[in-house]
Structure 1
Amino acid sequence: MGSRSEKRAILVFTNAQLGANVYRAVVEEALGFLPDALRQPYIQY
């Protein structure tokens, strides 16, 4: 996730089955908010 206007970005890698829980928390903590794109339910295949 990133913001051109704020010149900030974050990249999170996970290899866990519940990785979405991890990266959502990390992104929210780092940016101070959870972007709309990450509010969507995680679809497991």
Structure 2
Amino acid sequence: MIISYILTGNFTVALGIGGIEVVSKMILYYLHERAWNKITKE
């Protein structure tokens, strides 16, 4: 969020980017773990 704020100068936009980042990282981590689990069980 800090980098987003520095680049945009807008706190609302930085907060939105930070929120999207948190959610997208959780989803990508979940998908990564499912894929890794599927690969290692073969």
| Both structures adopt the same fold (TM-score exceeding 0.5) | no
TM-score range, shorter chain: 0.3 to 0.5
TM-score (norm 2): 0.36
Q: Which has the higher helix share?
A: 2
Q: Which has the higher strand share?
A: 1
Give the structure with higher Rg (CA).
2
TM-score (norm 1): 0.34
